[in-house]
A and B are shown apart, each in its own frame.
Chain A
Amino acid sequence: MTPTITRTKAEPLIGKRVKRREDPRLITGTATYVDDIQMPGMHHACIIRSPHAAARIRGINVSAAKETPGVVAVFTGEDAKGVGPVPCGASLPGLRVPHHYILALDRVYFAGHPVAVVVATDKYIARDAADLVEVDYEELPAVADPEKAIAEGAPAVHPEWPDNVAFNFHQEGGDVNQAFAEAEVVLKQRITSQRLIPTPMETRGVVAEWKSGDKSLTVYSSTQIPHLLRTLLAGMLGLPEHKTRVVTPEVGGGFGCKLNVYAEEALMGFVAMKIGKPVKWIESRRENYLCTIHGRGHVDYFEIAAKRDGTILGLKLKLIQDLGAYHQLLTPAIPTLSVLMMPGLYRFRNISADIVGAFTNCVPTDAYRGAGRPEATHGIERMVDILAAELNMDPAEIRMKNFIKPDEFPFATATGLTYDSGEYDKPLRHALEVAGYQKLRAEQAQARTDGRLMGIGLSTYGEICAFGPSPATPAGGWESATVKIEPSGKVTVMTGASPHGQGEETTFAQIAADELGVDIDDVVVLHGDTAVVQYGIGTFGSRGTAVGGPALYYALQELKVKIKKFGAMLLDSDDVSFEDGVCTCNHSGRTCTLAEVSGAAHRAMKLPPDTPPGMQATYFWEPPNFTFPFGAHLVVTEVDRDTGQIQIKRYVAVDDCGRIINPMIVDGQVHGGVAQGLGQALYEQAVYDENGQLLSGELTDYAIPKATMMPWIESAHTETPSPVNPLGVKGVGEAGTIGCSPAVVNSVVDALSGLGVRHLDMPLTPEKIWAVIQKGGQA
């Protein structure tokens, strides 16, 4: 057999704009998302949900539904109460954790709470029969606003905890009291980060298949964390973990909301085991808005202390987090991330923060793109601008003055983090230059003379990425990779990260192709099936490449050692090098290809000393630290005085995510991140009425940006490698979102500053802006 010759690479692929290897299936409609799965005998589930935000269930009558031809089962909370609770993976001192049944037992806690499930041979029949389930509710008073929830006399979300406080959390660093005592200026501001609905274009969905002969369950779910889901589902259902398999097919966007374990995932497992047939549930968009986690939901009270020369001395925060009715996987941990990132990019070391976690009769909040860091960045970047305005300083100048300097890294923050590397002034200077800052300020002065409302806004953000060192995460913060070189020399990579749009099938192939010196077409990257891929943690918190990438790098290094051993044996040499996919004897110059090496390792006619056959390596990489990307966004706006409409005239984003593997993909992440940040700044808000009814419960009422609502983003990069990992990468998934909202709001506040406007809460709808202008600057 002639081994396949792998073509050698001409130049490194890392850093190149390599077209995505996942795209051919996606642009031809041949990818398989969970709703595309069909199985013989597959049944369909429809879930009955509470129309009330708080109610007692007096009774449920399922008989009419059960009699419907085609319906095979109806289950209620009573039937499913033996299934373990929906898990909360976060722990905080004194945390109150309500028992979260997968179907409500005798009480519902938010509108959309699952109450019963109808299973039928056809989804139209299941939907029809769901209307025949009669639930007798006794409506109870509800509370949807977190500040009202923790006020005296509010209805209790959970009767056992009448104060609605799930936890109090305090963190401080340095001496904040002294900082405030010494301050020449102290400024206070209430700043909200409204509830947002993540809105991946693919809703959630689950297919569960029970194999009674093997007593094994396979769950296909649109999730970001197949392995963690498997561990937790097995626990909930009382199944052995090794007989539980989770498969993540193509995932149509996650943004954090699929970094979770949901009631419906366990419920479909339960149903499949009960009926002995595969069952599918696909979330409707209405359900997605009512029942999949929301993000943000902060009311923040900030106080900043400074000297009159602009030196920031300290920051205080009282943070009220709207938790919703339950803790989902990470709910109570999210606001603690806000506290960690309170110092931003600035040198001050005096901080104090108090979080109150408030239960409300709403769907839980949890990780949504940025998860706690956008809220923190929005706060600190607003406060810096408020301070600059008070001191009559230029917003760029005050930032430069307070930045941590390059020679101060690694930098220990007041919140206990160690920033890895940074040159914080570089992206800012670059953004100012690209935008033509001085000229813009001159234009602004002219615009004001002409009576136009033009604004220039900056944000210089830092973020914490690459979650993370395991001691700082609830379920392990490492990541894994396996590399197999097949007998023909073709390469299979299996990553424990579970990408879903981030393009790691391409970037990881770039890394493997470079390290092994093979053609990228000879590399395939697999992920997302617990029966195929070694245990992994998943994709979230900008960790896919920043933690999964190094795991792959180290697996490749192990393999290269083995390649050289077999190469030495084949070449009968004691000194070989391996480059560009070829082993070379450094004495004779004789060579053998990777295919020849791998073929020899698999045939194993002869083995090098102390070397087992085969050509495979698995590496579990524990990161020694987080990574800390940073950047500067500059936004030019013009506000229409008569309508309150905001026009984004320029959007300049300069991001530093460390070393860039694929600039095309990095820019794509920035664009998408900015779109979600802009959504928060201008358009999006999950609105509950006082009875806990979600008013923005459909795409008609929840304004995610359309193509006409987005500006052209002028994206550029600086590259400050991270010393935390051998690739020097930092992560970029959330940067755009984190950098965006304060830059936009700062710009609009700047535009309206002539009217005396100091702060505006998001979203900056035309109606809100118009009202402020009408009232002469009073918010």
Chain B
Amino acid sequence: MKRQISVTINGRTRTDEVEPRLLLIHYLREVCGLTGPHIGCETSLCGACTVEFNGQAIKSCTMFAVQADGGRVTTIEGLASNGTLHPVQEAFWEEHALQCGFCTPGMIMAAKQLLDRNPAPDDPEIRHGIEGNLCRCTGYQNIVAAVRSAAAKMSA
């Protein structure tokens, strides 16, 4: 039995008929065509699927699409505005905070959330804030540097 849901994604509201068991990440990727968020584990451990739901960073592999009914979702695709990168995106580029790029969309969303909550985190707070997102390429060092640098730019 499909159910109708209405979700505002990256500022646009859309209505779809979905199976109740459809995961939010599958809804975003396969129904909405937003392939920025990735699937690295489907068990909420890796964070590659991190998106913002009603202002909170969540792992979209452990939420059903029907639970997002009536809500607001922001994915990595919705972060830049009018072609201008978000300061966190800019800092990831500047500081070489990515290599293969697979974890990056989720990592950027987690980093953005961290800075929304704490505009001036120290290194341990940054590391704690992105602890739920795994990266196998960078050793996190340049991610920490990027979050630091984005924090400085955003508060300037």
Q: Name A's B-contacting residues (CB within 8 A).
A: 19-20, 22-33, 35-36, 38, 124, 199-203, 250-253, 255, 282, 284-285, 500-503, 664-665, 667-668, 671-676, 698-700, 704-708, 710, 712-713, 736
Contacts and interface: CB of A to CB of B under 8 A. Distances in A.
The B contact surface, by secondary structure, is: loop
A100 to B, nearest CB: 27
B46 A30 contact: no
A28 B43 contact: no
Interface stretch (B1-9, B63-71, B75-83): B75-83
A759 to B, nearest CB: 26
Given A199-B136, A672-B137, A706-B131, A23 B42 contact: no
B134 A28 contact: no
A22 to B, nearest CB: 7
Interface string B133-144: 111111111111
Contacts of A706: 131, 134, 140
B45 to A, nearest CB: 4
Contact of A201 (B85, B123, B134, B143): B134
A676 B136 contact: yes
Nearest to B98: A26
Interface in B96-119: 96, 98-105, 108
Nearest to A662: B96
8 contacts: A28-B89, A124-B21, A664-B96, A665-B96, A667-B96, A698-B45, A699-B46, A707-B127
Given A36-B35, A201-B40, A26 B101 contact: yes
Given A19-B93, A28-B85, A699-B41, 20 more contacts: A20-B93, A23-B98, A26-B98, A27-B105, A29-B35, A35-B35, A36-B35, A201-B38, A202-B40, A250-B102, A253-B99, A284-B42, A285-B41, A501-B100, A674-B139, A675-B138, A699-B43, A706-B134, A707-B143, A710-B141
B100 A252 contact: yes
Contacts of A668: 96, 99, 137-138, 142
B1 to A, nearest CB: 14
B151 to A, nearest CB: 15
Nearest to A31: B101
| From A33, A282, A674, residue with most partner B Cβ within 10 Å | A33
Given A253-B100, A502-B99, A676-B136, A708 B94 contact: no
A672 B99 contact: yes
A33 B123 CA distance: 31
Contacts of B41: 285, 698-699
| From A23, A26, A29, A502, residue with most partner B Cβ within 10 Å | A29
Contacts of A255: 136
B130 A707 contact: yes
Contacts of A22: 101
B92 interface: yes
Contacts of A35: 29, 35, 38-39
A191 to B, nearest CB: 25
Nearest to B21: A124
Nearest to B93: A23
A674 B140 CA distance: 11
Nearest to A677: B139
| From B34, B37, B45, B79, residue with most partner A Cβ within 10 Å | B45
B45 A700 contact: yes
B48 interface: yes
Contacts of A201: 38, 40, 46, 48, 100, 102-103, 134-137
B36 A28 contact: yes
A407 to B, nearest CB: 36
Contacts of A27: 76, 85, 89, 92-93, 98, 101, 104-105, 108
Q: Which 6 A-B pairs have the closest CB atoms?
A: A29-B36, A252-B102, A26-B101, A501-B100, A675-B139, A29-B76
Contact of A253 (B21, B37, B43, B137): B137
A710 B137 CA distance: 13
B100 A202 contact: yes
Contacts of B103: 201, 252
Nearest to B141: A671
| From B33, B126, B141, residue with most partner A Cβ within 10 Å | B141
A19 B80 CA distance: 19
A255 B43 CA distance: 23
Nearest to B86: A27
A707 B97 CA distance: 13
B38 A33 contact: yes
